[in-house]
Amino acid sequence: HQLVTWIDRVSGSTGIGKEADKEYEAPIKAKRSKPEDAGGDELVYHPVKLSRSDLYRPPTAEELNQLKEAESLFHCSLLKMQMEELLKEVVLSERRKGQIDLFIHTVTKLLQTFSNSQEVEISDLSWLSGAVQVPFIMVPKTTKGKFHMAPPASVDLIGSYPLGTCTKPHVMVDLAVTIPADILHPKDALNQRYARKRALYLAGLAEHLISSSDIGTMHYSCLHGNRLRPVLLLRPPGKESSNFTVRVHACPPPGFFKPSRFHPQRNNIRTEWYTGLQTSQSESTEPPTPHYNSSILGDLLPRAHLQFLSAVSSQCPAFTDGVALLKVWLRQRELDQGTGCFNGFLASMLMAYLLTTHRISNTMTAYQLLRNSLNFLASTDLTVNGISLSKDSDSTPSLSEFHSAFQVVFVDPSGHLNMCADMTACTYKQLQHEASVSMQFWDNPTVDGFHSLLMTPKTMIRTSDHVFQLCELVKLQSSCKKLNLLSELMDYSGNYVHTALPYILSLLQQGLGQRIHLLTHSLPPDPEWSVESEAPKYKDQPPLSFGLLLRPELAVSVLERGPSADSPKAAEFRQLWGSRSELRRFQDGAITEAVLWDGEKICQKRLVPRQIITHLLLLHADIPESCVRYVGAIVDDVIKMERKVPSTGEEEGLLVVQSFDDLSRKLWKLEGLPLSITSVQGAHPALRYTQVFPPLPLKLDYSFFDRDKISRSLMPKEGKPCPAYITPITVICHMEGSGKWPHDPLAIRHIRARHKYACRPCSTHLDVWKDGLLFRIQVAYHREPQVLRESVSLGGLQVVRDNEEAQALEMATIHKPLLTSTLHGIQQQHTCFGAVCRLAKRWLGAQLFSSDITEDTADLLVASLFLQPAPFTPPGSPQVGFLRFLHLLSSFDWRNSPLIVNLNNQLSVADYTEIKNDFMASRESLPVMFIATPKDKKISVWTKRAPSVQMLQRVVMVAAESLKVLEHQLMDSSQIQDVRVVFRPPLDVYDVLIHLNHKQVPLLNQAVDPPAVTFSRGILTDKSGASSGGALPVVDYNPVSLYLTELREAFGDLALFFCDPYGGTVITVLWKPKAFTPMPFKASARSVEVTGEVVNTLPNVEAILEDFKIIGNGLVKSVEVRSERWSI
């Protein structure tokens, strides 16, 4: 069902037919899509031409300043302008502000008209009418104290809106409602009494407001996930409801509680009250409740904070813009929302800190503010060296006291409150990591800083190499018990998720150790529920996600080597790993504690972190494996090969390369050649580890084939299934230049043929059967393309003109080998490069795009992900690489920018500018997908032929849709996981489907969903060891590709043909709309119909359909006509 709906969506929005239609026919559809189309045409970039007088007029002082600033502060004025534009997008408009002010006014008025109610016990809720619930989980139930409703003492705006740092989207306006002093009692700070009164007061407000028609919807939520601080969310009625939200906080009157009561080492929840058990503890031995304390303090201080920030903001004109930029930056990194987030308030406070400590000056621009803040974050570790905004340090707790109670310390101006109380060390480390990564690429002029910094969303699934989720959060309750966290649980008022989280994180950090760079976790989102329903339970939260940023070289190690057996640390090691730890003797003679994880092939080794995590969670936190949903390598399944030991092909790829190395060594050693060999280079994806299914060493069943006696080769037999496909692995062999080479293209070709010497020669190449693999050696002469280009003009002038033949030859003998060796180098640096390429190409193949985005193009695209990962780090697992590949495809602005792949780091900054300028100047004549490399700055050789505009558009759309579906599948634990959905192409956009006979499809078992039936294809599987020598097998014989070639040659002007090269059993055909417009009779017209006296031609569809069958006789099972488009 999932598949069907997905297909519907894809085809609904992305039919290629429709795009093609736009140009040619179907007026109805065209009408719908016309506006955007026309818009697209207008938006073409034309280089500006300033008139001479404009360029050379004397500059004004102001203009000079502006130009100078642009030159010195920013890499170019572009970045400055981009930031200005971005700010315009996020800042609230005047109209919106007007709406907000009006709504605030009505709400304030409504809140003032309020009648007192009877004084009752706190636990007595009878005064509430029942239409609204109290937003609080009353555990434990009993509380002392009296409560009654009364009109608020005051209603004030607080937070970002009055400060001017409020930004789109999710406009949140904070409104503080002061609870009158007579409701509260100075001792209410104890045992959640204040928090409950506050919740009751909010419920009272909600009940009062619910009848009003001026208010749209009302919800409860809680501030940063803290259940002690519920808030009331009000939305305006009608159309404006999604424009903004007013968040009503209830606060005690200023100065009602003494701040010193909330010292992080003081206790304000009595164990006796909380557990209900009699204990003999005195107040001094009670455990401190720092988090509880800070949540009450937080209610006391918002007005003071606003005053402080306003004072700072009024002195620095760029303050609001700087904060807005920092907020955008945080939001793109998912750090600004949820429990323990680094929210906008903290962003303002951080900037205020930098301003008050004179780390940045008041005259700086927003750009500089952002840069300095990030620099500060990157270089300062608040988990060790906290900072404080407080001026006097006598009466307030010291930083070390804060550090002992909290993981991250940033003290507010009053000196009592740690504003980062809820933040985990991991979140701060993530923030720091992000800041330092940002600083790195900001300084790099070759990166589009603006885009990476502020425009690219970094979702966890696309950022972290491995992701896992804890699904049943209720299990964390038992973890708290196991970890012995009762007093912490009390401090967090029963929120076992937050209680256990820091401990679980430190446990994992300890266990994963050197294997990871960074451990991150999702911030639990603020729950939001309707005023009529009860507060949701903690276990109803969405699953907690954790992200791992791996160190690829260490993460796959199967051995965890601990301290030697007699060292004091051994006990600690044993305690951490439990029964998995055992004594082992190593080759260097040491006997140490060690843990050995399972893993034979790379694809299993990649999941060693998973073994560690599940083991540790079960051992120390009582979380069973079933609760851990590990999404590290789910997508890898599609490139798994059918072997006894499942493998994703890394080992097989290595085998091919080793065999090639051996072959090239032998070639070098050859003696008695007329010309010596100057280089032996691989020119095949298998030789750079990026072949989707690397060729396997095969052993042949000779009885399966016909035999050609003279050439000692095997031949396919008629009537039998098509033999297994043997991929020829291309090797280019350059011969030395010599005067003996003739200076004539034809002659060169013949001489080249003379140099083929053994095995199976053929006019263009030489096949070598070795280790069960087939290498195809081609001899190349480096001057041949040049000779092809030369010609003598009439005047006797020797001219050099480029032509297609020369280009093709150059591609095969120069560009391809070079690309292969360069990409081979990338694989050496990044171990999962090959796997990402293979996933990407598998996807392209499955979606029938292989002929448009060729293997080399795809490899280059993936290479760009590794060479220029900003704002990410290079992918550390195939899955995350694949997701980023889809994101690159779908989000890159192919129309207006070239994709520059800086292979071997050969391009300088000047080259970048040059490439961009050349690209801009001649955009229209360049390929739609433009990829520049150091050896190819102007032409984009790899994408010259394909894709076309329409195909690229479709690729982009399908990629976007696939990405959406895939990420959803991976992150939503409620989904049935079938990632293959994105590998099944929607077929209903095509006009004709040609179903193929499975028997004649040699690569059938590579299909996304391999069929149950298998055919014998002349391969012996029982014995190990591949055959070398003997009769030459059937090479490069694939009826499907032969058929496709014939179809394209015969009907290429009428239709497009698509097929999945990896075991696709269906060829899809799409008529070109242009083919069906009646055309005047020309000699070149093909299958034609003539109507009336005016001779027009139309394709003879009936005959063509029959030709499909005739040409593919034996291969074609049936031809299915899906649309009647041709019968116009």
Task: Identify the residue among 927, 1002, 1033, 1039 touching another protein (CB under 8 A).
Answer: 1039
Q: Percentages helix, strand, coil for the chain, rounded to the nearest 5?
A: 45, 15, 40
- Tell me whether the omega of the peptide bond preceding residue 254 falls within 30 degrees of 0, making it cis: no
The tally of CA atoms less than 13 A away on the side-chain side of residue 999 is 10
Query: Could you tell me the smallest distance in angstroms from the CB atom of residue 1087 to another protein?
Result: 7
76 versus 311: smaller Cβ distance to another protein: 76
Closest CA to 775 of 785, 762, 765, 788: 765
Contact call for residue 722 and another protein (CB under 8 A) = yes
Contact call for residue 753 and another protein (CB under 8 A) = yes
Q: Please enumerate in sequence order all residues whose Cβ is within 8 A of that of 881, keeping only pairs 6 or more positions apart, or say none.
A: 832, 833, 835, 836, 839, 840, 862, 865, 866, 875
The tokens describing 1069, both together, are 């055909």
Query: Could you tell me the smallest distance in angstroms from the CB atom of residue 559 to another protein?
Result: 44
Stretch that binds another protein, among 273-281, 346-354, 427-435, 705-713 (CB under 8 A): 705-713
Contact 584, 591 (CB under 8 A): yes
CA 204/CA 41 separation, integer angstroms: 58
List Cα–Cα distances, 732 to 182, 668, 740, 774, in angstroms: 90, 13, 20, 14
Stretch that binds another protein, among 204-212, 294-302, 930-938, 1031-1039 (CB under 8 A): 1031-1039
Name the strands in the sheet holding 466-470, side by side, starting at the edge strand that comes first in the sequence.
516-521, 544-550, 466-470, 628-630
717 versus 782: smaller Cβ distance to another protein: 717
Q: How many residues bind another protein (CB under 8 A)?
A: 105
Task: Identify the residue among 5, 8, 81, 146 touching another protein (CB under 8 A).
Answer: 81
Query: Could you tell me the smallest distance in angstroms from the CB atom of residue 109 to another protein?
Result: 34
Task: Identify the residue among 12, 59, 737, 1030 touching another protein (CB under 8 A).
Answer: 59
400 versus 1127: smaller Cβ distance to another protein: 1127
3 state SS of 319? helix
Residues within window 29-48 making contact with another protein, judged by CB under 8 A: 39, 42-43, 45-48
Sign of CA dihedral 826, 832, 836, 839: positive
Contact call for residue 1107 and another protein (CB under 8 A) = yes
554 versus 715: smaller Cβ distance to another protein: 715
Task: Identify the residue among 128, 1095, 1119, 1121 touching another protein (CB under 8 A).
Answer: 1095
Stretch that binds another protein, among 343-351, 495-503, 739-747, 882-890 (CB under 8 A): 739-747
List Cα–Cα distances, 270 to 280, 487, 712, 727, 988, in angstroms: 11, 10, 92, 75, 67
387 versus 698: smaller Cβ distance to another protein: 698
The tokens describing 1019, both together, are 């391969």
Q: What burial letters (b/e) apply to 1066-1094, b meaning 16+ CB within 10 Å?
A: bbbbbbbbebbeeeeeeeeeebeeeeeee
Task: Identify the residue among 55, 139, 976, 1012 touching another protein (CB under 8 A).
Answer: 55
Residues within window 87-116 making contact with another protein, judged by CB under 8 A: 88-90
Task: Identify the residue among 24, 586, 702, 1081 touching another protein (CB under 8 A).
Answer: 1081
Residues within window 961-1000 making contact with another protein, judged by CB under 8 A: 1000
Contact call for residue 76 and another protein (CB under 8 A) = yes
Give the DSSP H or E segment for 583.
strand 582-585
Contact call for residue 56 and another protein (CB under 8 A) = yes
Task: Identify the residue among 566, 893, 924, 1022 touching another protein (CB under 8 A).
Answer: 893
796 to 835: interface string for another protein, x by CB under 8 A: xxxxx-----------------------------------
Contact call for residue 1016 and another protein (CB under 8 A) = no
Stretch that binds another protein, among 517-525, 638-646, 984-992, 1106-1114 (CB under 8 A): 1106-1114
278 versus 1127: smaller Cβ distance to another protein: 1127
Contact call for residue 397 and another protein (CB under 8 A) = no
Contact call for residue 747 and another protein (CB under 8 A) = yes
767 to 796: interface string for another protein, x by CB under 8 A: -----------------------------x
39 versus 130: smaller Cβ distance to another protein: 39
The tokens describing 716, both together, are 């396919």
Stretch that binds another protein, among 306-314, 360-368, 823-831, 1032-1040 (CB under 8 A): 1032-1040
Phi, psi for 922 (deg, rounded to 5): -125, 40
401 to 440: interface string for another protein, x by CB under 8 A: ----------------------------------------
Contact call for residue 1113 and another protein (CB under 8 A) = yes
Closest CA to 326 of 354, 295, 362: 354
Q: 372: left (phi > 0), else alpha (psi -120 to 50), else beta?
A: alpha
Contact 466, 609 (CB under 8 A): yes
List Cα–Cα distances, 422 to 294, 352, 460, in angstroms: 9, 21, 20
91 versus 382: smaller Cβ distance to another protein: 91
Contact call for residue 1045 and another protein (CB under 8 A) = yes
Query: Could you tell me the smallest distance in angstroms from the CB atom of residue 1076 to another protein?
Result: 11
CA 1029/CA 1034 separation, integer angstroms: 13
Contact call for residue 1110 and another protein (CB under 8 A) = yes
The tokens describing 693, both together, are 């299914």
53 versus 1024: smaller Cβ distance to another protein: 53
Beta bridge partners of 596: 559
Query: Could you tell me the smallest distance in angstroms from the CB atom of residue 203 to another protein?
Result: 34
The tokens describing 45, both together, are 């970039």
Longest Cα–Cα distance of the chain, Å, equals 113
Closest CA to 629 of 462, 471, 463, 459: 471
Residues within window 455-484 making contact with another protein, judged by CB under 8 A: 455, 457
Contact call for residue 896 and another protein (CB under 8 A) = yes
Task: Identify the residue among 196, 224, 247, 331 touching another protein (CB under 8 A).
Answer: 331
Phi, psi for 832 (deg, rounded to 5): -100, 10
Give the DSSP H or E segment for 937.
none
Query: Could you tell me the smallest distance in angstroms from the CB atom of residue 331 to another protein?
Result: 7
Contact 420, 428 (CB under 8 A): yes
448 versus 650: smaller Cβ distance to another protein: 448
55 versus 1012: smaller Cβ distance to another protein: 55
